[in-house]
Amino acid sequence: MRLRNIKGADERILADPYTIQTDGTDGADFKGRWNREYFHNDHPIHIEIGMGKGQFITTLAQQNPNINYIGIEKYSSVLIRAIDKREELALDNLLFMRMDAEEITDYFEPGEVGRIYLNFSDPWPKDRHAKRRLTSTTFLSRYDQILQRDGVVEFKTDNRPLFDFSLEQLQEVGWHADYVSYHLHENGPAADNIMTEYEQKFYALGNPICKFRAHR
Q: Cβ neighbours of residue 76 under 8 Å, at least 6 residues apart?
A: 6, 9, 10, 13, 98
User: Distance between CA 25 and CA 126 in Å, rounded?
Assistant: 33
Cα three-residue angle 193-72-167, rounded to 5 degrees? 55
Contact 111, 31 (CB under 8 A): no
The DSSP bridge partners found for residue 176 are 215
Residue 122 annotated as catalytic: yes
The residue from 29, 122, 144, 158 that is catalytic is 122
Q: Which residues are catalytic?
A: 122
